[in-house]
Structure 1
Amino acid sequence: MADPDDIRGWQRLDAEITTSGRIEDKDVMRLADLGVAHVVNLALETHPEALAGEGDKLAAQGIAYTHIPVPFDAPGEDHFAAFVKAVEEGPRPVHVHCIMNWRVSAFFYRYNRDRRGLAEPVARALMERQWSPEGHDSKEARVWAEFIARTPE
């Protein structure tokens, strides 16, 4: 089955990692058909576009589910550590999503740069397919610019 082109912000990072913005009811079976074994959701379940009962719907298709609610105005190192653990220790292939694929692309920027050893410009180009916090002038964008600038200690 080919990658869907109608899921918001869909992006394939490699053979075992895909990302997107929000998923809808119709996407649950599509992810199963793609062979996705694990979904990681970084969005808040209270967002109006969040898929209600997402974990149960995925479980019904045999897909593991990890929810790491990341407030858009306060991404933290605890969130990033949970994300790394879910991606590295959870079943594969993994699909990671939020609402717009902004949280996810920023998390994968750091992951690709710091854990996978991608050159910074390559990691940044992957992120910028979805968004760049530097391109926005808001409190949240500044928070995300600071988040992606962090490096391992």
Structure 2
Amino acid sequence: MADPVDIRAWQRLDAETTTSGRIEDKDVARLADLGVRHVINLALETHPEALAGEGEKLAAHGIAYTHIPVPFDAPGEDHFAAFVDAVKDGPQPVHVHCIMNWRVSAFFYRLNRDHRQMPEAEARAIMERQWSPEGHDSNEARVWAAFIARSDT
């Protein structure tokens, strides 16, 4: 099956990892058909575009689910540590999403740079396919710029 590029902000990072913005009911079966075994959701379940009952819907298709609700205005090191553990220890292939693929791209930027030893420019280019907090002038963008500037190495 081909990648479902009509899912918001769909991106394939490698053979075992895909990312996107929000998913809808119709996407659950498509992820299963792609062989996804684990979905990590970084969005808040209270967001108007969140998929209600996401964990149960994925489980019905045999897909493990990890929810790490990351407030857009307050990403924390605890969120990032939980994300790293979920990606590292969870079943593969994995699909990671939020609402716009902005949280996800920032988290993968740090994972790629600090844990996978990817060159910074390459990690940044992958993130910038979705967004760059430096390109926005808002309190949230400043929070995210500070978040991606942190390093765990």
Partner residue in 2 for 1:128: 128
Partner residue in 2 for 1:9: 9
Alignment of 1:47-66 (within 5 A): 47-66=47-66
Residues in 1 aligned to 2:108 and 2:11: alpha-carbon distance in whole angstroms = 11
Segments of 5+ residues of structure 1 without an aligned counterpart are none
Equivalent residue of 1:19, what SS?
strand
Segments of 5+ residues of structure 2 without an aligned counterpart are none
Q: Could you tell me how far 1:152 is from its partner in structure 2? A: 1.1
For 2:82, give the aligned amino acid: A
Residues in 1 aligned to 2:117 and 2:3: alpha-carbon distance in whole angstroms = 26
For 2:87, give the aligned amino acid: V
Identity in percent: 84
Residues in 2 aligned to 1:93 and 1:56: alpha-carbon distance in whole angstroms = 19
Q: Could you tell me how far 1:13 is from its partner in structure 2? A: 0.5
Equivalent residue of 1:75, what SS?
coil
Q: TM-score, normalised by structure 1?
A: 0.99
Q: Could you tell me how far 1:5 is from its partner in structure 2? A: 1.1
Residues in 2 aligned to 1:96 and 1:52: alpha-carbon distance in whole angstroms = 17
Q: TM-score, normalised by structure 2?
A: 0.99
Partner residue in 2 for 1:111: 111
Q: Deviations over 1:21-74 (max 9, x none)?
A: 000000000000000000000000000000000000000000000000000000
Number of residue-to-residue matches in the alignment? 153
Partner residue in 2 for 1:152: 152
Equivalent residue of 1:124, what SS?
helix
Partner residue in 2 for 1:95: 95
Equivalent residue of 1:7, what SS?
coil
Equivalent residue of 1:5, what SS?
coil
Equivalent residue of 2:58, what SS?
helix
Residues in 2 aligned to 1:17 and 1:5: alpha-carbon distance in whole angstroms = 14
